[in-house]
Amino acid sequence: MEIRDYKNADFRRLYEIDHAAFPKGIAYSHLELQVYIRSRKSRTLIAEADDEIVGFVIGCSEPRRLGHIITIDVLPHKQRQRIGSRLLDEIERWLWDQGTEAIYLETPVDDSGAQAFYEKHGYFVLERIEAYYNDSLDALVMMKTTKNA
């Protein structure tokens, strides 16, 4: 598997993966996904296996030395193959190199698999945001404050 930077030609496939990985109301619209990918402070990394895009991550360097993981998406049938871990490691490395002192993300309160994944990678629950997704589903904000956690 190869991790590489995003190319404009990847957009359609990333949109498809996002909609395969997340239910309606959590998956991004075309516009939302474009905004996150094109933000000047963000970076999008692609996971490719056998010339097929199997996942991606978007990270953003924010003010006050914060990093934000916008999304990690892996095709459902490719999950649990360390693709998400590789993507997370690579985007975290980039964020730490940008001078980030903490990295945060949001995940649905009902997604125990995602919560366990992030906890395994050193994230802890910081707070709960009511009606974050689609004005109905709460989110957990999870944070990591050390590079080697």
Mean pLDDT of 52-76: 95
pLDDT of residue 118: 96
What value does the mean pLDDT take over residues 37-48? Answer: 96
User: How buried is residue 95: exposed, middle or buried, by Cβ count under 10 Å (0-12/13-18/19+)?
Assistant: buried
Q: In the β-sheet with 66-74, what is the strand arrangement from edge to edge?
A: 2-5, 42-49, 52-62, 66-74, 102-108, 137-144, 124-133
Query: What was the pLDDT predicted at 60?
Result: 96
Q: Do the domain assignments include residue 113?
A: yes
**Residue at 15 is within a domain:** yes
Instruction: Please say if the pLDDT value at position 144 is more than 80.
Output: yes
DSSP bridge partners of 107: 140
Query: Per-residue confidence at 147, pLDDT binned at 50, 70, 90?
Result: confident
Higher pLDDT, 47 or 133: 47
Q: Considering the domain boundaries, does residue 135 fall inside one? A: yes
How far is the C-alpha of 112 from the C-alpha of 122, rounded, in Å? 15
Q: What percent of the chain has pLDDT over 90?
A: 78
Please, what is the average pLDDT of the chain? 93
Determine what percent of the chain is predicted with pLDDT higher than 70.
99
Can you state the angle between helices 30-38 and 11-21, rounded to 10 degrees?
Answer: 120
CATH number reported for the structural domain that contains residue 104 in this entry: 3.40.630.30
Q: Indicate the pLDDT class of residue 149, thresholds 50, 70 and 90.
A: low
> Could you read off the pLDDT of 85-143 as tens digits, one per residue?
999 999 999 999 999 999 999 999 998 999 999 999 999 999 999 988 877 889 999 99
Q: What is the pTM of this model?
A: 0.93
Residue 67 structural domain: 2-144
**Can you give the pLDDT at residue 70?**
96
Indicate whether 130 belongs to any domain. yes
Asked if the structure places residue 149 within a domain, the reply is no
In a domain, 92, yes or no: yes
- Is position 91 within any domain? yes
64 in a domain, yes or no? yes
Q: Looking at the 3D structure of the chain, how many domains does it have? A: 1
